[in-house]
Structure formats: C-alpha cells, structure tokens
Amino acid sequence: MRTTSLTQGQFDSMLMWLDPDRDAAATKYEAIRRRLTMIFEARGCAEAEDLADETINRVANRLGALGEYRGEPARYFYGVANKVHLEYIRRRPSTLARTEPEAMVSNEFEQRFDCLDRCLGKLSPKNRELILKYYAQQKRGKVEARRVLAEQLGIQAKALRIRAQRIRVSLQNCVSECLKQEDSLGS
C-alpha cells in the first residue's frame, strides 16, 4: 500500500469541501471514515482502518485536481476506496506466498475451516441456513439465487444483504476469537 501523507492544510480543505460548517464537516468526515472502515472489514481486509485512512488521504491530496466535482462527496470517497481495495487484493497473494511456507498456510487454512465450522454450528438454524444459501452460488448464479432467497424470506434484496452482512460479521468475530484460542493453546 502506498502511504500518502496529509498536511493540516489539505485536511482543512477536505473538511471545507465536505461542508462549509466545520462541525457538520467533522460529522460527515467521521461518518465517511466509519463507513470506509466497515466496507474494508466486510471485504475481509485485515488492515481496514489503514485502508480507510489511505483512501481519505488520497482524496484529500486530489482535491485541487477535482475541479468542480458535482455530487455527494462520500460517493467520491467510496470510488477511491474501490481502487484502494483492488490494490490491496493485488498485493496480498504475493506477500502471503513470500512470507509463509506452504505447510503453514495449509495448517492455518485447516484451523480457519475448523473454526468456521464450529462458529456456523453456534448460529441459529435459520441464520445458518440463510448464510449458507447466500454464499452457495458464484458469479452469475449468485444474483439469481439471492433474489430467490429474498423472495422466500419475503424481504427486499437490500434487507437480505444487510442480514447476511450482520451474520458474516458475527462469524468473522467468532472465527477470530476461535483462532486466538487455538493460538493460545498451541503456544
């Protein structure tokens, strides 16, 4: 990740761009940063807060080049976040391959799988079924499968995404705790 620095002047300019009222701008800034962090966490990024800060820094550094940007500033941040995420994905596999022997990766994968299996078992049957169906398909099939699932549940697609995201976050937290326990037992 290329880390860009941010001067106080750039930060002040960004706040002014968000809203002329400094208090309102600060509120918007915090909401955008929180949302960026959540986006990166939902995408499984280990460095979610760092990636959110990188996104904010890049936007602040480009403010002069934006000219007369029309639209909600938050959307611009989210667009930059997508680019930052793509960079993160591109560098992640090569870093992992160089730093960890294959046996360790395989063992870690097995631990994660076992923890995920245990955590799935802790979910209510309804939530377990929902999350398994939500992620059962790939590529084009998942759009149709998720539409059907939403219809079966009698909810809109957006509500389904929110439910799945909440279940996924609880699973991620559970798996993280499980892996910490595994590490402490193995140490």
Tens-place pLDDT, residues 24-51: 999 999 999 999 989 888 888 888 889 9
pLDDT of residue 45: 84
Specify the residue for token string 């480009």: 62
pLDDT at 154 over 90: yes
Specify the residue for token string 């398909």: 137
pLDDT of residue 1: 53
Q: Comparing C-alpha atoms, which of 117, 100, 135, 121 is closest to residue 182? A: 117
The residue type at 137: Q
Q: Is the pTM of this model over 0.75?
A: no
101-186: CATH topology is Arc Repressor Mutant, subunit A (1.10.10)
pLDDT at 108 over 90: no
Specify the residue for token string 């140490």: 187
Domain ranges of the chain: 8-97, 101-186
